[in-house]
Amino acid sequence: MEKQSILFVRNIESELSDILSACAFDRLFVLTDQTTHAVCLPLIEKCLVAHQAHIITIGTSDEHKTLESLADVWQSLSDAKATRRSLLINLGGGMVTDLGGFAASTFKRGICFLNIPTTLLAMVDASVGGKTGINFNGLKNEIGVFRNAFDVLVDTHFLLTLDEENICSGFAEMLKHGLISNRSDWAELMNFDLEKPDLKRLQELVEKSVGVKQRIVLEDPEEKGLRKALNLGHTAGHALESLALHEGRPVLHGYAVAWGLVCELYLSCKKTGFPHDVMLQTANFIKSHYGVFAFDCKKYEQLYLLMTHDKKNTDGRVNFTLLSDVGDLRINQTATKEEIFEMLDFYRETMGC
């Protein structure tokens, strides 16, 4: 997989117009969800009208990252006579870029797509790195392929359209990037004022965060080794996210990752010597800004079962990415059922469930 082309832009409509004018496509399509259709599409609408774009809109939130929504996108492409020379722009958060990238990768065995992430989470995570896919059978991102967008356009002006929860959601992935990077990056993030975010400073941190992910993906595009570092917080986090969806109280992905970090930093302390003070400082930051996803010990078996379905597992053992210090990675770590239950005990005690 080639290096992902990521452009940090200041005027999205002007930059997009230049890119589209230089592209040889026969038909242009734009995928949005209901929210980005209303809030973000107007920011590039003049450019799209000039290129006679077909707009495809799906439901909002991860509940619509499904085979049914995927089929709707395929059907819309087919109805509008898309060909292998057509171009799909994914305008939205991680759900849109994941699903849209998968739709483009599979329609007529692959058409070009371009990502314009509109949430902080998508800017620093979902739209970068070549992972596409949908949820299936109650499991996160169970079906998908690796394929890069030919361009990712990042304009942090879209962050003005976000509420505080969505800023926090994306920031959780940035915090993960800081933890797998170095103490300086981690400290910068821990000292950032999430309650009154400085967007200019946030833009600088976004560029640095994307750089961390891009360096890792370039070295290991298909997650055979180093890229597993990006899974820190995700084994537990995906299980919590799936449980929340099953119980009809869905949570934003970044919140689940933040709570997963609390779990997995504890496991890092127990198994690989991660500093206890750094773990507690990070856990307190998360508790302060993300609140708590509450569950009781009766849910442990269900959470454990969800973790056993994680794609990272080998030989039936639950696989984690852990740290022995900030930036000191320990991939392919396993934990017993008893250790995982102990991890969940720690989470509940620390977060005040």
Give 18-59 pLDDT, tens digit per residue: 999 999 999 999 999 999 999 999 999 999 999 999 999 999
Burial 217-238 (b: 16+ CB within 10 A, else e): beeebebeebbbbbbbbbbbbb
Cα 209 from chain centre? 13
Q: Give the model's pLDDT for residue 62.
A: 85
Q: Domains of the chain (ranges plus CATH)?
A: 6-161 (3.40.50.1970), 164-351 (1.20.1090.10)
Q: Give the model's pLDDT for residue 269.
A: 98
Which parts of the chain sit beneath pLDDT 50? none
| H-state helical runs in the chain | 12-22, 34-39, 45-50, 67-79, 94-106, 120-121, 164-181, 183-190, 199-219, 234-246, 253-272, 276-290, 300-308, 337-351
Q: Is 327 exposed, middle or buried (0-12, 13-18, 19+ CB in 10 A)?
A: middle
- How far is Cα 230 from Cα 253, in angstroms, rounded to an integer? 14
Rounded to two decimals, what is the model's pTM?
0.89
Q: Give the model's pLDDT for residue 221.
A: 84
Q: Give the model's pLDDT for residue 1.
A: 57
Task: Output the six-digit token pair for 86.
Answer: 């057509």
- Helices H / strands E in the chain, number of each: 14, 10
- How far is Cα 61 from Cα 9, in angstroms, rounded to an integer? 26
Q: Is 312 exposed, middle or buried (0-12, 13-18, 19+ CB in 10 A)?
A: middle
- How far is Cα 282 from Cα 288, in angstroms, rounded to an integer? 10
- How far is Cα 343 from Cα 265, in angstroms, rounded to an integer? 9
Kindly report, residue by residue over 259-280, the tens digit of the pLDDT.
Answer: 999 999 999 999 999 999 999 9
